[in-house]
């Protein structure tokens, strides 16, 4: 068992019962404070951020033997490049320092412990390239049945993880406002397109994995080795402009409807921390080609939810889904992405695609939840939403829970302005 994951561990730091960040999580992020605006690496425990640069300065991380500069970096990329064994060693050391049985760091906590609501969390990864997949069969069937009722699932869908290359430059950290995009749309019964702001602003509930180990160009990552190349997971909102999308997507797929913004959570939760939540994925029929045949439990039982918060305080949780529903898992996505020799770099991000379940309340987008606007949702004040209004904030949450331990991601939140 991974030492830091011990479910019996408790911390001397107070951790609320519903916290995403018990001592068994210890995700990685990058933060800064008003008094010290220099970015540096951190982890989370309870409602607090732990400054790793200060822990290192105080010689509390000497056992891990990392270059001092690593902890003061703007991004996690150099830490990930050290490899999983070294990062595992760091997580284990952090768990020991924060353990209730260890007084080594407790009296010095005021130096390195910051209330989470008093710090600024930054986008933790320097993202070179970004790929978005389309890997939920429920989502694919829902969308397909709206636009192609006679042929909802295209012939290739069950044979390969469908994806497209998105825009890394417009991925922003949780809390960053998102501007409603403009573009061309084709109004109903019109023969010519018009230009203007999207009227069908949507979210897409997704998870994204971060590449922590590169592969050389021309050298595919095998499905057996793929997990060694995946550092961890983030919550991800792939904002979408549905009216722009429906006009532009033929023949080459998503473009302006997707590349204006995507929102990521500030914390990267390691695959090590998510180990207890492994589950088997759906049976894949017909059988996939040998290079895509994964062995063992490669899906993860992670509860996901989406809340819409209006400016007047009205709100509603509009979606409850689960990452375990994915038809194509992460190792299959990475193996397929590289099977042609495509080289992946440290910090590359791959998103899952919208995560929908079988029940209507588990659909991962407004397009599905309101069925193209024909079934509006109600907020707590009785107001309705067909899609996302200006002033609305979309908040995504995700967590796994087992053996009395809850491992979460915080939030991926963005306000439409």
CATH 3.40.50.720 fits 3-122, yes or no: no
- Separation of alpha carbons 141 and 384, rounded Å: 26
Per-residue pLDDT in tens (0 to 9) along the chain, 417 residues: 799 999 999 999 999 999 999 999 999 999 999 999 999 999 999 999 999 999 999 999 999 989 999 999 999 999 999 999 999 999 999 999 999 999 999 999 999 999 999 999 999 999 999 999 999 999 999 999 998 888 899 999 999 999 999 999 999 999 999 999 999 999 999 999 999 999 999 999 999 999 999 999 999 999 999 999 999 999 999 999 999 999 999 999 999 999 999 999 999 999 999 999 999 999 999 999 999 999 999 999 999 999 999 999 999 999 999 999 999 999 999 999 999 999 999 999 999 999 999 999 999 999 999 999 999 999 999 999 999 999 999 999 999 999 999 999 999 999 999
Backbone angles phi, psi at 58, to 5 degrees: -85, 10
pTM: 0.97
CATH architecture of 130-415: Alpha-Beta Complex (3.90)
Residues recognised as catalytic: 139
- Separation of alpha carbons 355 and 137, rounded Å: 9
Specify the pairing of strand 349-351 against strand 130-133.
Answer: parallel
For the chain, the structural domain boundaries read: 3-122, 130-415
Q: Hey, do 3-122 and 130-415 end up sharing a CATH topology, with the first three levels equal?
A: no
Which region holds residue 53: left if phi is over 0, alpha if psi is between -120 and 50, else beta? alpha
Contacts of 21 (CB under 8 A, 6+ apart): 15, 27, 44, 45, 46, 47, 408, 410
Residue 251: asked if its preceding bond is cis (omega within 30°), the reply is yes
Helix (H) or strand (E) holding 408: strand 405-415
Contacts of 1 (CB under 8 A, 6+ apart): none
- Separation of alpha carbons 334 and 329, rounded Å: 9
Structure tokens at 286: 């017909």
C-alpha distance across the termini of the chain, in Å: 46
DSSP label at residue 229: G
Report in angstroms the alpha-carbon separations of 72 from 25, 29, 94, 126: 21, 12, 17, 14
């Amino acid at each position: 068992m991974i030492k830091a994951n011990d479910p019996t561990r408790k911390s001397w730091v107070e951790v609320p019962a519903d916290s995403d960040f018990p001592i068994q999580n210890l995700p990685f992020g990058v933060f800064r404070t008003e008094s010290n605006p220099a970015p540096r690496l951190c982890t989370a425990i309870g409602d607090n951020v732990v400054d790793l640069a200060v822990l290192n300065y105080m010689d509390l991380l000497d056992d891990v033997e990392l270059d001092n500069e690593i902890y003061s970096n703007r991004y996690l990329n150099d830490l990930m490049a050290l490899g999983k064994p070294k990062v595992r060693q760091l997580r284990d050391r952090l768990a020991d320092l924060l353990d209730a049985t260890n007084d080594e760091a407790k009296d010095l906590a005021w130096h390195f412990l910051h209330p989470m609501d008093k710090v600024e969390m930054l986008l933790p990864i320097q993202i070179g390239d970004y790929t978005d997949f389309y890997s939920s069969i429920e989502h694919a069937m829902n969308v397909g049945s709206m636009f192609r009722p006679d042929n909802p699932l295209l012939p290739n869908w069950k044979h390969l993880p469908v994806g497209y290359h998105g825009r890394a430059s417009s991925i922003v950290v949780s809390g960053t406002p998102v501007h409603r995009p403009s573009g061309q749309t084709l109004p109903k019964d019109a023969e010519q397109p018009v230009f203007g702001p999207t009227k069908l602003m949507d979210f897409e509930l997704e998870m994204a994995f971060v590449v922590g180990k590169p592969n050389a160009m021309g050298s595919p990552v095998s499905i057996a080795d793929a997990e060694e190349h995946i550092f961890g997971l983030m919550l991800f909102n792939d904002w979408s402009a549905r009216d722009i999308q429906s006009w532009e997507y033929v023949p080459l797929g998503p473009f302006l409807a997707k590349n204006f913004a995507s929102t990521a959570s500030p914390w990267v939760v390691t695959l090590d921390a998510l180990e207890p939540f492994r589950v088997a994925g759906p049976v894949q029929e017909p059988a996939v080609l040998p290079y895509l045949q994964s062995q063992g439990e490669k899906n993860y039982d992670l509860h996901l939810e989406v809340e819409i918060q209006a400016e007047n305080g009205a709100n509603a949780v509009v979606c409850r889904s689960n990452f375990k529903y994915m038809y194509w898992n992460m190792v299959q996505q990475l193996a397929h992405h590289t099977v042609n020799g495509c080289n992946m770099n440290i910090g590359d991000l791959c998103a899952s695609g919208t995560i929908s379940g079988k029940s209507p309340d588990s659909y991962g987008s407004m397009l599905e939840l309101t069925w193209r606007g024909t079934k509006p949702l109600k907020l707590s004040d009785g107001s309705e939403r067909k899609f996302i209004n200006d002033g609305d904030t979309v908040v995504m949450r995700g967590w796994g829970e087992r053996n009395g331990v809850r491992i979460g991601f915080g939030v991926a939140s963005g306000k439409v302005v």
